[in-house]
């Protein structure tokens, strides 16, 4: 593909990879430095009992994630319909909802947590589906800031910083472009709401898609934790108790997702990185599939994309080769929320699943419109490489970009539109 040949020129690689073989796509065939390969090999030599404990920890954190979703649902139910709707009244404006999604994800560093809370709120009847969609779209953008911060580790070397930042911010501009295209369309014609609703209605309760109300064993397994939290908060007051329940559930989701990602990174990052590195230089769509698969396993698109930033910084990979992995990781992160949506039961469980499908459909549309169609495909890469070029010459540009786009602007919208 044409995009596989872009990126830093030969003079920028400092000899790291000039002698390596060329990949069939025309870019450098990725090869790992010996030191990094050795470090990874050492990290992978865990004793068997350590790996067993690690995978038991993974199972426990998945269990905690399911419990947390159920706890939030019970918290919203305890508030009553009027109080629950009042919690999200400030986000009724779609621009405020979008800003909440961006800023909330930047602050807690987890788009999965932000999206899961929105999906659970919809499934509990506390938030209408039209109010959740902007939050979900905003979370999709807010998650990209972490990878840009990873590029700062190369700030002392101008050439490496430019390559690393170009590879990391392609994720930013891809998601911003998707938002610029689909957010106005959704405001006018609501295709995400209609299509996700039709998909959920067609599949819910059929053999194609399991009905979460049938998973009685999951409800039985999570009930002790759920009841324990409810019992601990009911003694406060009829209003504060459910609020504390919601907060506890949200914290548990954040903890489960964060430590699940860290634990899976320790257990899987060697194999995951091998899969990514081998796939990146061969075929863009194979790289996309690898990015999606690794993200499904690690439960974090940030882990998937951050792993490749050091390889881009040292010139082993180009930003164009990282680009399809980013696209795939965006899709892979949606499956976590779909999984979490199955923990919901009750009359609004189906619409909660619809909110999860919004995230999935949105990222599928983005892939087709931005990446598959050649016209828009170069835009995120062009913007990322130009920002990286300017920021490598003037370091303050990156600080202004991150502070304005991800913090100041969303906060200003929330204050001026949602509060004032």
Looking at the chain, the whole-number percentage of residues with pLDDT higher than 70 is: 77
Average pLDDT, the chain: 80
CA–CA dist 314, 16 (Å, integer): 7
Q: What is the pLDDT of residue 336?
A: 74
Task: Tell me which of 190 and 226 has the higher pLDDT.
Answer: 190
133-175 pLDDT, tens digit per residue, is 999 999 999 988 888 888 888 888 999 999 999 999 999 999 9
Q: What is the pLDDT of residue 276?
A: 62
Q: What is the pLDDT of residue 420?
A: 62
352-394 pLDDT, tens digit per residue, is 889 999 999 999 999 999 999 899 999 999 999 999 999 999 9
User: Rounded mean pLDDT of 7-28?
Assistant: 39
Task: Tell me which of 137 and 219 has the higher pLDDT.
Answer: 137
Q: How confident is the model at residue 17 (pLDDT cuts 50, 70, 90)?
A: very low
For residues 104 and 64, the answer to whether their CB atoms sit within 8 Å is: no
Residue 274 has pLDDT above 90, yes or no: no
CA–CA dist 181, 266 (Å, integer): 37
Q: What is the pLDDT of residue 205?
A: 66
Window from 61-70, 217-226, 288-297, 361-370 with minimum mean pLDDT: 217-226
Q: What is the pLDDT of residue 213?
A: 52
Q: What is the pLDDT of residue 1?
A: 40
User: Rounded mean pLDDT of 240-246?
Assistant: 86
């Amino acid at each position: 593909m044409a995009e596989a040949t872009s990126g830093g020129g030969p003079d920028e690689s400092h000899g790291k990879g000039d002698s390596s073989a060329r990949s069939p796509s025309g870019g450098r065939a990725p090869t790992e430095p010996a030191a990094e390969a050795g470090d990874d090999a050492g990290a992978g030599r865990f004793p068997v009992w350590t790996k067993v404990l690690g995978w038991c920890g993974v199972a426990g954190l998945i269990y905690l994630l399911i419990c947390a979703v159920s706890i939030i649902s019970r918290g919203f139910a305890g508030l009553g319909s009027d109080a629950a709707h009042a919690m999200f009244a400030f986000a009724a404006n779609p621009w405020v909802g979008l800003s909440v999604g961006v800023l909330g994800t930047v602050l807690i560093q987890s788009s999965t947590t932000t999206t899961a809370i929105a999906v659970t709120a919809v499934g509990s009847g506390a938030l209408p589906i039209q109010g959740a969609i902007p939050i979900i779209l905003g979370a999709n953008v807010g998650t990209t800031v972490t990878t840009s911060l990873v590029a700062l580790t190369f700030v002392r070397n101008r050439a490496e910083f430019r390559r690393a930042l170009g590879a990391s911010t392609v994720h930013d501009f891809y998601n911003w472009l998707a938002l610029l295209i689909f957010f106005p369309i959704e405001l006018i014609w609501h295709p995400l709401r209609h299509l996700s609703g039709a998909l959920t209605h067609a599949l819910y309760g059929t053999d194609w898609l399991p009905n979460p109300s049938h998973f009685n064993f999951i409800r039985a397994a999570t009930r002790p934790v759920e009841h324990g939290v409810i019992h601990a908060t009911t003694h406060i007051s009829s209003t504060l108790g459910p609020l504390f329940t919601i907060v506890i559930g949200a914290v548990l989701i954040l903890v489960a997702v964060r430590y699940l990602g860290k634990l899976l990174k320790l257990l899987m990052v060697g194999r995951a990185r091998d899969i990514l590195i081998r796939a990146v230089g061969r075929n863009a769509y194979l790289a996309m599939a690898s990015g999606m698969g690794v993200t499904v396993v690690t439960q974090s698109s940030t882990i998937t994309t951050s792993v490749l930033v050091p390889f881009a910084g040292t010139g082993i990979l180009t930003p164009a080769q990282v680009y399809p992995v980013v696209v795939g990781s965006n899709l892979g992160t949606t499956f976590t929320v779909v999984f979490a949506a199955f923990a919901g039961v009750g009359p609004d469980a189906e619409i909660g699943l619809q909110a999860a499908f919004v995230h999935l459909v949105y990222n599928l549309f983005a892939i087709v419109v931005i990446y598959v169609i050649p016209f828009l495909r170069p835009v995120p890469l062009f913007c990322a490489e130009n920002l990286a070029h300017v920021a490598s010459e003037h370091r303050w540009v990156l600080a202004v970009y991150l502070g304005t786009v991800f913090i100041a602007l969303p906060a200003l919208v929330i204050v001026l539109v949602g509060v004032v």
